[in-house]
Amino acid sequence: MRQPVSLADSLKKFIEKYPHRRQLKRGMIMSLWGPIVGSAIATQCRDLHFEGSRLVVHVANPGWRQELHMQRYTIMRELNNEVKEDIISEIIVKA
């Protein structure tokens, strides 16, 4: 008789075998952006998109752009940790 498998374990197995896993995890990163960076920074970000493995963020305010630029490696590490894979290789902050 087989042991029951938790839903979380089943989802992990599905995601690992899913052919479009990287695109799925990119979507997960987009949804995690606000909670990771906080609402103050998230509201300043205009265009958030991927260019290959680089996450590009447009910020109009120079002060917030500098703040985000200084925190980009920490943010990248936290986002990659949340999706348990190195999806982002670099965060580019543009005006």
pLDDT digits (tens, 9 = 90+) for 2-13: 888 899 888 888
Within a domain: 38 = yes
Region 40-58: what's the mean pLDDT?
94
Domain CATH code at residue 77: 3.30.300
Total of domains in the chain: 1
Q: What are phi and psi of 53, to 5 degrees?
A: -100, 5
More confident residue, 19 or 33: 33
Within a domain: 1 = no
Region 39-51: what's the mean pLDDT?
93
Residue-range definition of the domain harbouring residue 57: 7-94
Say what the pLDDT of residue 16 is. 77
